[in-house]
């Protein structure tokens, strides 16, 4: 039964729940029920058995009604693991069904997605090493070392206790960001060694066989007109516009190309890798009888120039042309074709500079702070406003944006894919895959003329709010609001930024003059 439910849920992670899944859910028993209790008056001790209260509290926007989640503990536990403890409180007048609200988001082709009926989507983000840690699973099935939420509803005025056990980040990682679906993340949380009283349903990781830990790379993308930079924990790919590097149908470098390649050479000098690959690409204009050799000549021209500019010894270079076979954007638009005409230089990622000292504090629930606001230009978004609540860089260099979408109009507003990154709105391909999220919400640097995309995990999903999940609140009534978030990793000197929120265009609502604190 569990395998059928999980398979069905994976197929529906980003769409409507199919009838077969609804029938399967209704026919399965609950079991493994999390501890529950009254939410008021507040207990004198936390659910962990001690302490004056939660580490932090965040709103949780479930479709069934208002709630909040308290982080009670994040501590190193047996078997080289880390366990997080939470309390989810129902703040509304209707029962909240959390059955699939906290599962891991992702495309159905990802066969390693966590248990769909459990809190498998809670993650530990180690932004310094750019890794996302998800809860452990038993080796003999899909059971998660986390609270199973199927058929464990939260009645009005009550709460449930939830746990999740993760593979431990390296011992020198002392703080992480705790990411919870449908909630604002808990940023810069210390990992302690404090003892935690286990829940009745909690699995001891030392007494079961475990699957390979699910630890995913976190990636960043910075897009500019002349160049874009893709970073993962190991490699950097610099995509240079062929329109800037060369004249039309030529492979001779322009004066501007010289300036850009000097910048790339400095990055290669700062890295520790011994291999640089250079790949030339074209759009689909014409045919590859012309595009293929042209892309090869252009790649070779860039590689040859980098050889003379890089001062570090022991670096090898490989160049290749691919014609129009590997587009990164749609060839149906002029903007997409421009992006496909490119030369990409890939090399070992140079060490990141130390982030500046932390000057602000992470977002706090009900803080009421508004750093700036904007209305949408689209007629379909009339009455909706964006309010910036927090833009905080923590000790790892991670910057978390928290923003509120508020309905000041007269009628309900339904949300679907408006905040997604799409080719039609952003003039670029849908890579990295965002999937019903706030992945199209960008930080723009007017001075550098680049936009910082929200971070993504290697399987595609954005490190940001999942707006279109089945369990997410997708309707905002008059006078109501939903708090969303996005995670970025801009350079330390990024300042005077703009927030660009899409609707019918990439920057439909714009908030200017933002400072990271």
User: pLDDT per residue over 170-216, tens digit each?
Assistant: 999 999 999 999 999 999 999 999 988 899 989 999 999 999 999 99
Report the run of H or E that residue 187 belongs to, with start and end: strand 186-190
499 shares a domain with 431: yes
DSSP 289: H
User: pLDDT per residue over 257-266, tens digit each?
Assistant: 999 999 999 9
Is 430 inside any structural domain? yes
User: pLDDT per residue over 295-318, tens digit each?
Assistant: 999 999 999 999 999 999 999 999
- Out of 28-32, 129-133, 160-164, 300-304, pick the least confident: 28-32
241 shares a domain with 162: no
pLDDT number for residue 429: 60
* Whether pLDDT at 252 is above 90: yes
- CATH number reported for the structural domain that contains residue 299 in this entry: 3.30.1330.60
Is 197 inside any structural domain? yes
pLDDT number for residue 247: 96
Contacts of residue 236, defined as CB under 8 A and 6 or more positions apart, other chains included, come to: 229, 230, 267, 271, 346, 347, 348, 349, 350
Q: Identify which of 210, 503, 221 has the alpha carbon closest to the alpha carbon of residue 376.
A: 503
d(CA 443, CA 427): 16
Is 364 inside any structural domain? no
What percentage of residues in the chain have a pLDDT greater than 70? 88
Is 358 or 378 the better-scoring residue by pLDDT? 378
The count of structural domains within the chain is: 3
d(CA 389, CA 58): 13
* Whether pLDDT at 141 is above 80: no
pLDDT number for residue 202: 94
Is 17 inside any structural domain? no
Is 333 inside any structural domain? yes
326 shares a domain with 285: yes
66 phi, psi to nearest 5 deg: -70, 145
* Whether pLDDT at 320 is above 90: yes
Domain around 57: 31-213
Is 21 inside any structural domain? no
d(CA 499, CA 489): 14
87 shares a domain with 202: yes
Report the run of H or E that residue 236 belongs to, with start and end: strand 235-241
Give the end of a domain, one of 316, 348, 380. 348
Asked whether the beta carbons of 61 and 482 are under 8 A apart, the reply is: yes
d(CA 503, CA 378): 7
pLDDT number for residue 433: 61
The b/e string for 157-180 (b: 16+ C-beta within 10 A; e otherwise) is ebbbbbbbbbbbbeeebebbbbbb
- CATH number reported for the structural domain that contains residue 450 in this entry: 2.60.40
Give the end of a domain, one of 165, 183, 213. 213
User: pLDDT per residue over 468-507, tens digit each?
Assistant: 888 999 999 999 999 999 999 999 889 899 999 999 999 9
Is 222 inside any structural domain? no
Give the end of a domain, one of 333, 348, 363. 348
175 shares a domain with 51: yes
193 shares a domain with 323: no
376 shares a domain with 314: no
- Name the one residue in this structure whose structure tokens are 């993650």: 123
170 shares a domain with 283: no
pLDDT number for residue 328: 87
332 shares a domain with 389: no
78 shares a domain with 201: yes
d(CA 190, CA 74): 7
325 shares a domain with 407: no
Is 417 inside any structural domain? yes
139 shares a domain with 51: yes
Instruction: Please report, in angstroms and rounded to a whole number, the separation of the first and last CA atoms in the chain.
Output: 49
d(CA 408, CA 405): 10
């Amino acid at each position: 039964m569990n395998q059928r439910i999980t398979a069905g849920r994976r197929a529906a992670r980003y769409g409507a729940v199919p009838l077969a899944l609804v029938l399967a859910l209704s026919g399965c028993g609950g079991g493994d029920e999390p501890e529950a209790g009254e939410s008021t008056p507040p207990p004198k001790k936390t659910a962990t058995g001690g302490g004056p209260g939660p580490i932090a509290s965040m709103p949780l926007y479930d479709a069934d009604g208002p709630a909040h989640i308290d982080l009670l503990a994040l501590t190193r536990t047996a078997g080289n693991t880390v366990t997080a403890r939470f309390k989810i409180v129902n703040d509304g007048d209707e029962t909240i069904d959390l059955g699939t609200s906290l599962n891991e988001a992702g495309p159905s082709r990802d066969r390693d997605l966590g248990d769909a009926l459990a809190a498998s989507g809670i993650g530990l983000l180690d932004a310094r090493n750019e890794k996302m840690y998800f809860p452990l699973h038993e080796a003999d099935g899909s059971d998660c070392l986390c609270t199973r939420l199927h058929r464990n509803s939260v009645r009005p005025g009550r709460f449930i206790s939830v746990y999740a056990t993760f593979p431990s980040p390296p011992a020198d990682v002392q703080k992480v960001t705790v990411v919870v679906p449908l909630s604002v993340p808990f940023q810069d949380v210390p990992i302690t060694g404090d003892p935690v009283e286990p829940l009745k349903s909690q699995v001891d990781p030392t007494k079961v066989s475990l699957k390979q830990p699910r630890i995913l790379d976190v990636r960043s993308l910075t897009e500019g007109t002349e160049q874009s930079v893709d970073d993962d924990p190991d490699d950097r790919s610099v995509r240079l516009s062929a329109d800037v590097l060369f004249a039309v149908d030529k492979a001779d470098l322009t004066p501007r190309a010289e300036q850009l390649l000097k910048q790339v050479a400095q990055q290669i000098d700062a890295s520790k890798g011994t291999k640089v690959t250079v790949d030339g690409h074209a759009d689909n204009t014409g045919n590859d009888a012309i595009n293929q050799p042209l892309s090869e000549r252009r790649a070779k021209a860039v590689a040859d120039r980098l050889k003379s500019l890089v001062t570090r010894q022991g670096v090898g270079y490989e160049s290749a042309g691919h014609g129009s076979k590997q587009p990164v954007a749609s060839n149906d638009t002029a903007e997409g074709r421009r992006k496909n005409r490119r030369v990409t230089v890939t090399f070992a990622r140079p060490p990141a500079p130390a982030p500046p000292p932390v000057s602000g504090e992470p977002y706090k629930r009900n803080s009421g702070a508004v750093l700036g606001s904007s209305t949408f230009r689209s007629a379909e978004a009339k009455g909706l406003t964006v309010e910036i609540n927090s833009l905080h860089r923590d000790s790892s260099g991670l910057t978390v944006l928290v923003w509120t979408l508020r309905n000041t109009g007269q009628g309900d507003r339904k949300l679907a894919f408006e905040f997604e990154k799409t080719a039609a709105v952003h003039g670029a391909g849908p890579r990295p895959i965002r999937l019903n999220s706030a992945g199209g919400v960008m930080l723009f640097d007017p001075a550098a003329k680049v936009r910082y995309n929200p971070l993504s995990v290697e399987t595609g999903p954005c490190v940001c709010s999942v707006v279109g999940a089945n369990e997410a609140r997708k309707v905002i009534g008059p006078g109501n609001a939903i708090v969303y978030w996005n995670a970025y990793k801009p350079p330390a000197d990024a300042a005077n930024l703009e927030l660009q929120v899409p609707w019918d265009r990439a920057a439909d609502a714009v908030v200017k003059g933002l400072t990271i604190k």
